[in-house]
């Protein structure tokens, strides 16, 4: 499978990477957090780590560590802008089982 960026996400991420010197791509991951169990982590990547899987979407590198890969593989990332102040990345993730009411955390099907 893969991780994909929509056209609006590609444009936004490309612009942000261009403003962050030394970035080679976007680092995506998950960490334990919140009432549902996990939260998405998004950061600039300056290097490929030994346990990273690297995807490319529209010329943008997406780096995912091995622990997060089962949660994120197959995900599409969109960039949405609603009004003047409400904008950000939207994660369309087929691996997500549920999310909390506040929208800050997600739960995934646990694999053996």
Q: Which two tokens stand for residue 36?
A: 């549902």
Beta-bridged to residue 89, according to DSSP, are 79
Q: 4-108, what's its fold?
A: Hypothetical Protein Aq_1857; Chain: A; (2.60.300)
Q: What is the pLDDT of residues 27-84, one digit of tens each?
A: 999 988 766 588 889 999 999 999 999 999 999 999 999 999 999 999 999 999 887 7
pTM score over 0.85: no
Query: How much is the pLDDT for 102?
Result: 55
| CA-wise closest residue to 90 among 9, 17, 2 | 9
Rounded CA separation 109/30 (Å): 14
Q: What residues does each domain of the chain span?
A: 4-108
């Amino acid at each position: 499978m893969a991780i994909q960026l929509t056209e609006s996400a590609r444009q936004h991420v490309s612009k942000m990477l261009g403003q962050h010197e030394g970035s080679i791509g976007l680092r995506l991951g998950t960490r334990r957090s919140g009432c549902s169990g996990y939260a998405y982590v998004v950061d600039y990547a300056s290097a490929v780590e030994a346990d990273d899987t690297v995807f490319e979407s529209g010329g943008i590198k997406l780096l995912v560590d091995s622990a997060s890969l089962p949660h994120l593989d197959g995900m599409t990332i969109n960039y949405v802008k609603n009004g003047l102040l409400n904008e950000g990345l939207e994660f369309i993730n087929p691996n997500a089982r549920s999310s909390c009411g506040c929208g800050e955390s997600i739960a995934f099907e646990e694999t053996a």
